[in-house]
Amino acid sequence: MGFFGFKWDSRLAKPYTNMKKRILVTGGAGFIGSNTCENLIDEGHDVICLDNFITGRKSNIEELLKSPSFHLIEGDIRNIEDCRKAVANIDIVLHLAALGSVPRSIADPITTNDININGFLNMIVATRDAGIKRFVYAASSSTYGDSESLPKIEDKIGKPLSPYAITKYVGELYADVFSKTYDMECIGLRYFNVFGRRQDPAGAYAAVIPKFVDALMQNESPIINGDGTFSRDFTYIDNVIQINKLALFTSDAKALNQVYNVAFGESSTLNELFEEIKLNLSKFKLSIGLIECSFGDFRKGDIPHSLASIDKAKTLLSYKPAHSLKEGLAETVKWYWINKNC
């Protein structure tokens, strides 16, 4: 049983060493970060979290703070001294801290660049200077840009369509150079539309699934950008935790200094997504099943369709995503409903 009363699925891979490690998770108070921190602690590791709480939330790590295996450093990756403090006596770095959202990057490219590029460089330099070999970092499916090929294969990308996409690709380029120049072990994980428990539904830049869930739970009509035919490869958080651990602890030299798609390998339209969320919520409140969605303008920087090939991750990291969109949505909707009504 996890710190938050969540029982981890037995299908989650446990491929990593039994040796206790000290792991730095930047952005550890965020959605993906807090879930990963919890799982690593449950597996017996010490976790140090670096977060400035721009997008992370202290409520996400409230229970973790009670554990002697969890340590919080309030700091900013834009400050090199904060980065150096965070990597002291660390075995492995998982760099998740970033300023997400394509629309936010269009509205404020300077801040996005400062955090995602300057902050990334600070972290990888601090990691190098501390003599830490393994640097695993969050990349993004936005890197595929205007490429129309499906499914998305790691070595075939297009031109970026947003400042956010540019910043995430620059991180990949830096990691490649550092692996070759400084003999570091860098692994990039291109996350595809991650969703699950603790994802924040609030704010102008919230992800689509928590926004839909929150609106329906308030008996409101969610707004779909466009006509709902755009499709995405939605990826449940437990699949992401699995591959995070695989990347952190793999001992296979062939798996190092690579970039991997992190997805389930199936796509669904926004219309299909809405209907599935509505179906799950109607099990708790029948009237929600009668709510219809509204349609708005297409968003700048959005690509029509996204579907990942996960063959590379399966082959080199033994990645076996256990949760489909339907399975993940059932768990996610249940979590939101319980936490709203508890």
Measured from the Cβ of residue 249, the count of other Cβ atoms closer than 10 Å reads 19
Token digits for 86?
């965070």
Indicate the residue type of 313: A
What DSSP assignment string belongs to 149-205?
A: -SSB-TT-----SSHHHHHHHHHHHHHHHHHHHS--EEEEEEE-SEE-TT----STT
Residue of 144, 164, 174, 319 marked active site: 164
Q: Where are the beta strands (DSSP E) in the chain?
A: 22-26, 46-51, 70-74, 92-95, 134-140, 185-191, 194-195, 223-225, 231-232, 235-236, 258-262, 268-269, 294-296
Could you confirm whether 164 is annotated as catalytic?
Answer: yes
31 vs 141: CA distance, rounded Å: 17
119 vs 101: CA distance, rounded Å: 16
227 vs 323: CA distance, rounded Å: 27
Active site residues: 164
